[in-house]
Amino acid sequence: MGLTAAQWISMIILIVFPVLWHLCYPIGKILEKKIIPNQAIREDLEWIANTAVRQVEQISENSSNAAKKQLAMSIAMRFCKVFEVPFLGEEIIDGAIEAAVFMLPSKSPGPPPVGS
């Protein structure tokens, strides 16, 4: 007397799925521990860079771009220390600041007024 198709499916569900679950669950937990902190650090870095760039734009509108960038770097480094964000290297902070500057609205004068 052999097993029917429904019995085979039931046996697979009752035996194979729990075994796969016990094999895959620890791997998922390890990946979760590696991915989520990196995402939080990335969000913190983005906030720090955006805040530093906006602060520099408010403080020193007439400074050169190099001076603004240096000031934004020092503000961002100070924020990293205050908020205990792991130091990622000056290149990463520099890149985040460049991205934040790129996302600033442009200050083009716009079209001339009508009738002039």
Place of tokens 């590696």: 34
If pLDDT is split at 50, 70 and 90, which confidence band does 51 have?
very high
Report the pLDDT value the prediction gives residue 115, as an integer from 0 to 100: 62
- Based on DSSP, count helices (H) and strands (E) in the chain, helices before strands: 3, 0
Please indicate whether residue 16 or residue 47 has the higher confidence score (pLDDT).
Answer: 47
Each residue's pLDDT tens digit, 77-88: 999 888 888 877
Q: Which residues contact 49 (CB under 8 A, 6 or more apart)?
A: 72, 76, 93, 96, 97, 99, 100
Q: How many other C-beta atoms are found inside a 10 Å radius of the C-beta of residue 72?
A: 28
Mean pLDDT of the chain: 84
pLDDT, residue 111, reads 62
- Per the confidence metrics, is the pTM higher than 0.95? no
